[in-house]
Amino acid sequence: MNLVLLYIPVPDEETGRLLADKAVSNRWAACANLSGPVESTYEWDGKMCREQEWVLRLKTLEQKADEVSRFLEEIHPYDTPCILKMGVEANPAFAKWVHDCMG
């Protein structure tokens, strides 16, 4: 069972909760974690920016990662959302739970 962890910065807690609820209720993710606020520093349109964001992490299966990523890109409020996909290893009991939740 190949697990993927998606890392998605969002502008605020409300947006993170909305995306988390949709991902889990549609069985695109078995679990969502929302953390924040965090401070992000980046350059945008030639200007240095520093803003507070929240970070959404979704635990999903490799075969669901592209589908949930497309959904996130469509609904995410940023012009260019960051959606990082990371293959992860988990203990067997947790990996089975993720698979069972999404199967």
Using the 8-state DSSP alphabet, how is residue 87 labeled?
A: E
Summarize pLDDT for 3-37 with one digit per residue, the tens: 999 999 999 999 999 999 999 999 999 999 999 99
Residue with tokens 């697990």: 3
pLDDT at 1: 64
- Cβ contacts of 93-98, under 8 Å, gap ≥ 24: 95/1, 95/3, 96/1, 97/30, 98/1, 98/3, 98/30, 98/31, 98/59, 98/60, 98/61
Mean pLDDT of 62-86: 96
pTM: 0.94
Average pLDDT, the chain: 96
**Cα(74)–Cα(70) distance, rounded to whole angstroms?**
6
Tell me whether strands 31-44 and 3-10 are parallel, antiparallel or unpaired. Answer: unpaired
* Residue ranges of domains in the chain, CATH in brackets: 3-102 (3.30.70.120)
58 within 8 A of 31, measured Cβ to Cβ: yes
